[in-house]
Amino acid sequence: MKKVVKFGGSSLASAEQFKKVGAIIKADESRVYVVPSAPGKRFSGDTKVTDMLLHMYATASEGKDIDEEIKAIKARYDEIITGLELKDFSLDKDFEEIANLMKTEPSKDFAASRGEYLNGKIMAKYLGVEFIDAAEVIFFNDEGKLNDYKTEKVLSERLAQCERAVVPGFYGLGKDGKVKTFSRGGSDVTGSIVAQAGRVDVYENWTDVSGFLVSDPRIVDNPKPIKYITYRELRELSYMGASVLHEDAIFPVRRCGIPINIRNTNRPEDPGTWIVESTAQKQDYVVTGIAGKKDFCTIFISKAMMNSEIGFGRKVLQAFEENDISFEHMPSGIDTMTIVVHADEFLHKEQSVVSAIHRLAAPDSIEIEAGLALVAVVGRGMKSASGTAGKLFSALANEGINIKMIDQGSSELNIIIGVKNDDFEKSIRAIYATFIKD
Ligand code: ASP
């Protein structure tokens, strides 16, 4: 059994956190590959090292002095090095190099990547294992996307040679031979790539929450944790804003059937959430998760005999495509169709969309409404349970909530309902109380 363990920024924000991480790794022999993030926030209001580095880069690129900023960043690492009592180890040389490069040839990605690079060096020293610079084993292509073929080849050969290793998260080597980072939160992606190339059995992703919760704790009091969630359910929920993991982290492990276990560094005894391809584990509830987002707009289009006009839908959608707007949902009637879009993508282009629909599809009328919230009720269990929709609608009716839209895919994995923005929180609480019982 082999595992990759990825630790997020808050798990490595201080020497004290590092010690917890060390204990976690040592508690299980199979935790062989470690992917660290940069030191994150130690308390609310603190600044992540990645943000300090990005600020330093901005200062350097304006030609201003960065000595004070370098000092503050170095202090974050020195606290960790001293707290861990690492003998014969210092990052002085690395900081000199960073400072020189920032003064001569400042690069944003290089600056941002140093957070993980330096933390990785400390981690390797602390654990007494090999340090593998991600720029030697993770590669991007011309388009700036992961070159998975080359990465898989080089990284798997390298990992096969070492029993244990630390690979810093968040960056690799660009096609131009310079360091390049993933988007923010990208250490999750590195963890997934290392899991795939290292042929491991489990990808443990350690953070500061005990996995996914059935609903948002800012809306529902003390929501239950999710024990098992499938990749498809996760996709539905993260689309609706429930995010713990970087979106691109799923693909590499999903492809080779490696489960992800989300764990809490501050509560290592909690089992966390398992993200799996498929599972026969008994579910506590029919519903796996409830998530949602506010601020959608609806564009309601009607035209007599629409149902028999071939190509009408395509013409309407073309109006959105021309304006570079992606639509989220499209419930339709016989002579009507409704397009649901994100308000922030749509509002500043609304008149241009309306005129394009008139030009392309010649409808009888178009009505626009703002202030719609969408709530997604997701669960693989809904397929085999009858009455889920009935219970859901009664839950909302009992609270006097008017449902403005309903969308259920034939996969029966989710039901999406549209309600007024003002009813959003109340709807989620009502649905939670109906489906999730103690
Ligand atoms: N340190 C990077 C960030 O703050 C990457 C990561 O933590 O995953 O986004």
pLDDT digits (tens, 9 = 90+) for 171-218: 999 999 999 999 999 999 999 999 999 999 999 999 999 899 999 999
Amino acid letter, residue 119: N
Please report the beta strands in 388-435, taking only residues with DSSP state E, as ranges in sequence order.
405-408, 414-420
pLDDT digits (tens, 9 = 90+) for 305-361: 998 899 999 999 999 999 999 999 998 889 999 999 999 999 999 999 999 999 999
Under the banding of pLDDT at 50, 70 and 90, the label for residue 371 is: very high
Nearest ligand 1 atom to alpha carbon 8: 7
- Confirm whether pTM is higher than 0.85: yes
Q: How far is the CA of 179 from the centre of ligand 1 (A)?
A: 15
Decide if pLDDT at 76 tops 70. yes
Mean pLDDT of 425-433: 96
**Cβ–Cβ under 8 Å, residues 358 and 366:** yes
Smallest CA separation from ligand 1 atom 6, residue: 185
Query: Residue 307: what pLDDT?
Result: 85
Q: How far is the CA of 171 from the centre of ligand 1 (A)?
A: 10
Under the banding of pLDDT at 50, 70 and 90, the label for residue 235 is: confident
CB neighbours of residue 217 within 10 Å: 11
Decide if pLDDT at 262 tops 80. yes
Q: How far is the CA of 110 from the centre of ligand 1 (A)?
A: 13
Mean pLDDT of 221-243: 88
Smallest CA separation from ligand 1 atom 5, residue: 185
Query: Cα separation of 373 and 102, whole Å?
Result: 45
Q: Of 29-43, 194-208, 237-251, which gets the smallest average pLDDT?
A: 237-251
Q: How far is the CA of 183 from the centre of ligand 1 (A)?
A: 8
Query: Residue 284: what pLDDT?
Result: 84
Nearest ligand 1 atom to alpha carbon 184: 9
Helix (H, G, I), strand (E, B) or coil at 388: helix
Contacts 24+ apart (CB under 8 A), 92-101: 94/118, 94/121, 95/70, 98/70, 99/66, 99/67, 99/70
pLDDT digits (tens, 9 = 90+) for 111-150: 999 999 999 999 999 999 999 999 999 999 999 999 999 9
Helix (H, G, I), strand (E, B) or coil at 218: coil
Query: Residue 283: what pLDDT?
Result: 81
Query: Cα separation of 294 and 317, whole Å?
Result: 22
Query: Cα separation of 41 and 148, whole Å?
Result: 31
Query: Residue 438: what pLDDT?
Result: 67
**Cβ–Cβ under 8 Å, residues 197 and 156:** yes
Query: Residue 408: what pLDDT?
Result: 82
Pocket test for ligand 1, best of 50, 119, 207, 262 (most atoms within 8 A of CB): 50
Under the banding of pLDDT at 50, 70 and 90, the label for residue 383 is: confident
Q: What percent of the chain has pLDDT over 70?
A: 100
Decide if pLDDT at 384 tops 90. no
Residue 172, exposed/middle/buried by CB under 10 A (0-12, 13-18, 19+)?
A: buried
Query: Cα separation of 294 and 223, whole Å?
Result: 20
Query: Cα separation of 339 and 37, whole Å?
Result: 40
Q: CB under 6 Å to ligand 1: residues?
A: 9, 37-38, 48, 50, 115, 169-170, 184-188
Please report the beta strands in 303-413, taking only residues with DSSP state E, as ranges in sequence order.
336-342, 365-378, 405-408
Pocket test for ligand 1, best of 53, 57, 109, 187 (most atoms within 8 A of CB): 187
| Average pLDDT of every residue of the chain | 94
Helix (H, G, I), strand (E, B) or coil at 40: coil
Q: Of 183-187, 226-230, 297-301, 381-385, which gets the smallest average pLDDT?
A: 381-385
Query: Residue 314: what pLDDT?
Result: 95
Helix H or strand E encompassing 298: strand 289-302
Terminal-residue alpha carbon distance, the chain: 35
Find the DSSP H helices in 84-186.
92-104, 108-127, 148-160
